[in-house]
Structure 1
C-alpha cells in the first residue's frame, strides 16, 4: 500500500522532537520513503545524524537551504518530491509563520513550494497553546484544506504543567499519515456525523462471569480513525477494549448489549452514517447474581434470553438520508448469511468478513471482506490492514 509513497517530515524545536524517531523508523519499515527537515531549534533536541540514519536519506537543515540539487533550489525539490508533509512538533513560532505565509527558513519555504497535504502535530506549554493569538493562528491555518490538524493531548508536560498541549503520540501520527496517503488529503466526510459501534459486548451472569466473544474492537477503531481523518465528527460506542480512543473522537463506553442499544438509539438521530461493527452477544443469562456464585451453585443448564436486535431497531428508526452499514462475521460461506442479513434487516450495505481465515477476523490487525449492498454490488476487499479496509468501505459509500 505504501510502496513509492514519499513523506517529508519537518521537525520543530521542542522536547517532543525525540518522539519523531519512532515515526520515521516505523514509516520506513512499512515501505514509505522518508526525508527529514530540522529547524535550527530542533537540532537542540535531536541530531540530523539520528534522523539520517533512520530515514536512509540526508537530514536537511537551514545550512543546506542554498544547496542546489541538479541546479534547482532544495526547497523546490523537496516540495515537489513529497506526497505528504508532516510537521511535528509544530511550535507556536512555525504555526504563526505558516498562518501568515511567511518563509524565512527551509521548512517554511518548502511548505510554500509544495501542493501536497500537510499534517500538523502541535506541541507546546498549556498557557502557550491556549493563548488567544495561537488559537487564532491555528484556526486560520486550518481554513486551508491542505492542512490537517491533530488534536493535542492532555497530561504532564515537560515543563511540569498538567494540561493540554502534549503532542499526539507516534502511533496516532503514523495512523494519520497512512490515512492521508490513502485519501491524498480529501475530506469527503467533512460536515458528516458518523456513528460507529465497536467491540464485543459482555452479558454477565455474576460480577466475574459473562457470555462474550473474542472481538477486540479493532475494526471499529479503524473505522473511527478513518472517518475522523476524512473530516467527519465521530461518535464511537465501544464495548470494553484495550486500546485508547483517538483524540478528537467522542467515546461512549458500554458493556452490555442493552447499554449499547441505548447509546446507539440516543445518537442515531444526529448521524449521517451508522456503522454497526460491534460483535453483539446473541443471548444473555436470564438472571443476574449481585454476588459471585460459588462453583457448586452454578446451574447445570443456564437459562438464557435474547438480547435486543440493535441493528434491526436502528434500521426501523433511521431516516431516508441516513446510511446504515452492518457487519457479518462468518465461517465457511460468508456471502449467503450476509445477504440474508442485508435484506432481512433492511441495511444499506453489509461487510461480510471471514473469521476462519489466517490473519483476519477477531483480534487481527488485518482483515478481508466482501462488500454487499442493496443495489447488488459485490466488491471483494483483499487482505489488508483494518485501517485500509475502513477507508475502502468509506470509498464505496462515497460512490454509492
Structure 2
C-alpha cells in the first residue's frame, strides 16, 4: 500500500472533466485521501455526486464555500490540508483569474490560501488556446515556481477542431502528481542538463529480422519525467518502443546501437550527466540486408560481431564536471558483476537491477536495485515503482556531489 497522501483536485468547466474521474479513482485505489472542488460550470458537465462517490468524501462547490457549522473558512482548511493541488481541466477563464491573482470562488480562493505545489492541465478549443491573451496568461503562470503543468495535447477535440487543446491523459497527470508527492515540488535539478537513454536497440539481419531484447523504455521515460519535474533540462534518446513520449520531453528515436552511439557522441559534450538506462545490444549480425531474406538464404550459422561498448566509450570522454551513470540488468547475483562493470567502465554510479525476479526488470512498472557509487558506497533499493527509483537515483547523485 502506498503511503496515504492528501491530494486536492479542482475540476473546471470543460468536457475533459470526465477524465478527472479516472484520476480521482486511481488516487483513491492507491490509498490516498482526495478532496474535490467543482466550479459552477464544471457541474454542467459532471455532478458533485459522481466525485463524492469516487473520492469517498463529499465534493465541494461554491454553494458550500462557507459552512455555518465550520469553525474556519473552507478555503483556508482545504489550502492547509492539501499536499498537492491539481486543477483539471484548467479553462481559459480560470487561467485568467489565476494569472491575475483573483479569488472570487472556492477554487481561486483555495489557490491563494495554499502553499503546496499546483499542477495545471489546460483544456480548451484550439483557437481559444492560441489567443495572445491566453498565451500571456499561461506564460505568467508558468514562470511561477509554484506551478507545474502538462500543456494541452494535439488531436481532434470535442468541438471537432483539430490541434492543441486536449487535456493531458490521466496517466500522465498521475505520474506528475506522484513526482510532486515525492519531492514536495522542489526543483533541485534546475541548471542541470541530463542526457538519458532508454529502451532496447535492434540489430537487423534484414528488413524484418533483428537481434534485440524485451526492454520497453519505462525506466528511461521515468528518469526523464522525474528529472524534468525537478527542473532539469533532459534529452531522452530511446530505442523502438510503444510508450508515448509526452511532448514536454525532448527525445530522439533510434533503432540500432550504432545510431544511438552517433546521437550520444553528438550530444554528450553539452550535458552534465549521462544516464545509460537503455539496453543496448552487445552483438549484431555481420551483414544487414535491406530486403527480407528468403529463409534458405539466412546464413547458418549466423555470423555475429560485438558492438563497441558505448557507455565505456562515453565515460572515457567525460570532463571532470560530467558524470556517467550506468545500468546493469542482471540475473542471479546482480551486485558482483555490476561493481566490476562500474570499475571497468570508470562510471560514477551504476544501478544493478534483477530481470529474473517477480515484478522487476523489463517491461515491468516496478523495479528493485542495488546502486553502487565509485567510492564503494552501496545502496539497496527494495521493490518500488520505476518513477520512485528514478527519484532515488537523483537524490543519490546530488548527495554524492555534496
Q: TM-score, normalised by structure 1?
A: 0.97
- Structure 1 stretches (4+) deviating beyond 6 angstroms? none
Residue in structure 1 matched with residue 48 of structure 2 by the alignment: 48
SS in 2 for 1:201: coil
Residue in structure 1 matched with residue 209 of structure 2 by the alignment: 209
Residue in structure 2 matched with residue 266 of structure 1 by the alignment: 266
Shift of 1:4: 2.5
Partners of 1:116 and 1:291 lie apart in 2 by 57
Which range is displaced more, 119-128 or 49-58? 119-128
Residue in structure 2 matched with residue 248 of structure 1 by the alignment: 248
Partners of 1:240 and 1:55 lie apart in 2 by 38
Partners of 2:19 and 2:215 lie apart in 1 by 31
Matches within 5 A, 1:106-125: 106-125=106-125
SS in 2 for 1:375: coil
Residue in structure 1 matched with residue 34 of structure 2 by the alignment: 34
Shift of 1:308: 2.5
Matches within 5 A, 1:36-115: 36-68=36-68, 70-115=70-115
Shift of 1:336: 1.4
Do 1:68 and 1:74's aligned partners in 2 also have CA atoms closer than 8 Å? Answer: no
Do 1:261 and 1:308's aligned partners in 2 also have CA atoms closer than 8 Å? Answer: no
Unpaired runs of 5+ residues, structure 2, are none
Shift of 1:193: 1.7
Residue in structure 2 matched with residue 192 of structure 1 by the alignment: 192
Aligned residues: 400
Partners of 1:66 and 1:315 lie apart in 2 by 61
Shift of 1:219: 0.8
Do 1:348 and 1:373's aligned partners in 2 also have CA atoms closer than 8 Å? Answer: yes
Shift of 1:326: 0.3
Partners of 1:372 and 1:68 lie apart in 2 by 58
Partners of 1:221 and 1:381 lie apart in 2 by 19
Partners of 2:246 and 2:47 lie apart in 1 by 30
Shift of 1:363: 1.4
Structure 1 pair 84–69 and aligned structure 2 pair: CA distance change class (3 A): farther
Partners of 1:155 and 1:270 lie apart in 2 by 33
Q: Does 1:380 align with 2:380?
A: yes
Structure 1 pair 248–68 and aligned structure 2 pair: CA distance change class (3 A): farther
Partners of 1:173 and 1:366 lie apart in 2 by 18
Do 1:215 and 1:363's aligned partners in 2 also have CA atoms closer than 8 Å? Answer: yes
Q: TM-score, normalised by structure 2?
A: 0.97
Partners of 1:83 and 1:3 lie apart in 2 by 13
SS in 2 for 1:59: coil
Structure 1 pair 108–68 and aligned structure 2 pair: CA distance change class (3 A): farther
Residues 276-317 of structure 1: CA deviation (Å, up to 9, x unaligned): 001111010001122222222222211111112110121122
Residue in structure 2 matched with residue 279 of structure 1 by the alignment: 279
Matches within 5 A, 1:1-400: 2-68=2-68, 70-400=70-400
Structure 1 pair 50–321 and aligned structure 2 pair: CA distance change class (3 A): same
Unpaired runs of 5+ residues, structure 1, are none
Which range is displaced more, 40-49 or 286-295? 286-295
Partners of 2:128 and 2:191 lie apart in 1 by 29
Partners of 2:134 and 2:2 lie apart in 1 by 34
